Structure 1
Amino acid sequence: MPRRVRPRSVTVTALAAAGLLSAANGALTGVGSAAPGPAVPPDTQASASVSVHCPFADPLGPRALTVETTATLPAQAKTGTSATIGAYSAKLGLPRDVALSLLPAGATTGSLRGAVQLDLTVQQDDRSDKVPVSLVVAPTPLPETGDVVLTATGAVPDIAINTVGAVTVTVTAPTLTLEAVPAPDAPAPTTAPPKVACTLDEGQQATLGKILVLPKTAPKAEQQQSAAPGEVTAQDEPPANEYTQPLGLVTILTTSTIQKLGATVVSPPALLMNGFISINLDTGDSSISGASVFSPVSTTFLGFGFVPVTATVEFLPVDYRNSKIIEVTGQLYTDDVTGLPSLRTSLEVYARMSHAEINGVPLDLGPDCMTKESVKLKLSGPYEAFGSGHITTDPDGFVLPGFTGCGTNGQDLNPLLEGMSSGGGNRAVVDTFNLVGCDTPDPAQCPEGSQPPAPGSQNPAAKKAVTKPR
């Protein structure tokens, strides 16, 4: 059991988003190309049962077989190190008439041997690679009656995983190469046994299991600056004794209110990608890592209090020219008044406006209608890493800066937007929810807690803050 430590302070940073690849080779995986992985939690037992069709030669024809795969998968791995899949075996039942056809003519007893070739698909989001696996079928005698059960075993090449997040391992259809075991005095065969390439039946689950890939180094270590010769830096210190735990599936609901417009911008639900909490077992300090991208949202408001305006608003990171991943830093603390675990965080984003209409008439803002400066947000409130969070701006709110780059064909629309919206006293609310996983394609069959609450509904964290005495 992992050691449980009460977190005292938290630094929140954003990892690269899921699917970003290693700068070394741009590949999701490599075979046998990395050093053995560090110590990780115990391996997990994984299994998959799939149905396939195998086109045996006439007069046998195509046959339906079931392939049962078992293996041990590492629970975790680190980027830049290898993941080893062990105890790999594939068991299949071969129909008796097919088995007899492989024996010498007229024989009713004997043994079969051979090989099974297949690929493992290693996938994260839209990135995937194939790992070839060669298995051997040891000599297996035919039973007196019924089908013969063949078991193929072998080693899976070490898989070097170069990206952070959950990696899914999926089985594929095998290619069978089977033959009868010759008698000791029989002449050597002059032809190779035929290969039978099976195909996977559609519409079935072929996932063997998942491996959680963690960053190789802690975010703090990555941010250390080079020191002058002879100067002692944090890099010279021994590595922290850390325990890392994934946060699971976390959704984020963001609401911003612009005082001057009297408008509320409710962003679509966003997911926290690669969310982890790391606890320093020596000091009790904790860090949370994650990344999120917010989709553009259309909003309607009254400009200057009477002009109906519709526009698309998008929140972008400071480095929006190179990435849409928003980074944030903060501290986890216990509120002195409510006694609740809380989060104090700072955030910088740019606001971009587009697709505007005034009184239903399109207003071309151009592609680069942005705030002149980043919007600086300071938020705090009740927050539980494995529950829900409800963090808001302080009573003074935040300032929406002026705009730049708004307008086309010589039009300068910056003063118009500034007059309508720029100023202080604005408010932002960020609600976070840890969701229950659901594998079924029908949302109606998912367990309670697998979907985020509707926007505007009461967040449990906010409810706790209200009911706690101040």
Structure 2
Amino acid sequence: MRGHRAAVPRPHRVRARSASIAAFVVLAALVPAAATAAGTQEVGVELPYVCALPSGERPATVRISAHFPGRAKAGEAFSPTDVTTTVELPAEAVADLTASKAATARAATRLGVDVTQGEAAAEATWRGTAEPVPLPESGPLTLTTTGDVPSVTGRSDGDLTFRAGGLAVDLALGAADGTATEPGSLTVDCSLAGDAPEEGLLTTVPVGPRTADPDGTPTPSGPSPGSSGASFGPQDAPEDRQDRQGDRAPEVAEGTPGGTAAGPGAPPCLYDDGHPSTSASLNAYVTGYTNVEKLRGASLIPLSCVLIEQGPTDIEFFPDFSGGHLTQHSEGTLRHRGRPRTPPFQATFLTFGFTPTKATMVLEQTGPMTMDASGETSFITLFTSLETRVRVPLVLRVTALEVNGTPLEVGPDCRTERPLRSPEPDPSAYPGDHLVLSGSSTHQPPDQPTGYLLSSGGPLTGEVTIPAFTGCGTGGENLDRLLTASVSGPGNYVKQIQGQTCAVQVFNPLECTEDLQPLKIPVPER
């Protein structure tokens, strides 16, 4: 027996701490911010975390220090300075590392930072690196990293609040003789402990002019009437959104104040006459990383817009009516300047291990994007599990190439000869070459769902083969072999993060801008 109902309700996602790590009770103190020189506040915070190590989940202590301005002006970018992240891992972590014959560890940290102003929110990634340190013979391992962090712009008056979130510690391991160990690297995922003081609060920066109490005491100004919140990012937005800064989704600029950001910010993500919306229309931003196995590196998948037509959820009831099988079929398309493709993006690698090569690329959708979810739900326990597979044929186009500082003309039609190809679990139903990304979710009310859902987003992963290149080169110079030899091949891991969707026919200020673009900007994860 089959039933039919409307699409699964679209739960609002809470801030992700780490889906893979359970809460762990650890006591720690929050060191309050103290004002230093005029106009600057020095922040030092100690927070309890839980880290997933090969031997299990262990408590860790994370100390974060930085200098923030005492006050900022609306529309004026600033970056926290002197940012240091210190991670103290317990002795059990050292035992895990020395078990692989490691004698040294070089750390790189990726700290998620939630930035909010009023109802607007954005996520920044604070990255830090360190020189190799020897592993201690006993006791904890202390890793201290430093690095520049994204700039922030408050577009209206009101407090900007910074809170620490999930932390990833990438460790490059070395043997005593300086050679790599096996494995040569390890990523330790850490989440904020459940009893962290003030939900990981780092500091608050007032934005706007200083006001005064009747007794003359300066006080922070609150949000201005009708304020639409914060925008975090470069002050020069893409021309399509230049006149909508107050309505646009928050951004984080991977650059210095007043400088050029690493990316153009959030591109427009709108339905229009060329692609009109329906009652089931959603839009969302996606981003992520893909490994390039031959080059032993990773390329950033640029922040891209996807327009989605969400299908209804079908239920096939169990014989005893205790629950049922759920299925849902949806379709989507990438959208950039009216075409089914991503924005251009750059990647720099060491080709053949020693030659710096920079390529500008575009992923072009050449056929339908399908999104199929299936799972089960219990009417007794209300527990629901879903598995989603996204399939999309994508051709990789190279629009510019630079080898060792010398530009090489690739011509107008340099591309992979076929779409990217993933292992397909059901080739008879889904023939042809295409990328396959998978995500799963569980939901046990009253808790929020965890994992990936089409409506609320989350991580999708897969593996892809990059085909040989064709059409590359001009003037008789054939670059097909160069690109094929250096890039093409199997085993390239992909991790894509989709943000919370915006349902364009049902305005929700927690999910959509006033002009019905996605409010949530996802942060790429490795």
Q: Do these two structures clear the TM 0.5 threshold for a shared fold by scoring above it? A: no
**TM-score w.r.t. structure 1 length?**
0.40
Instruction: Give the greater-gyration-radius structure (CA).
Output: 1
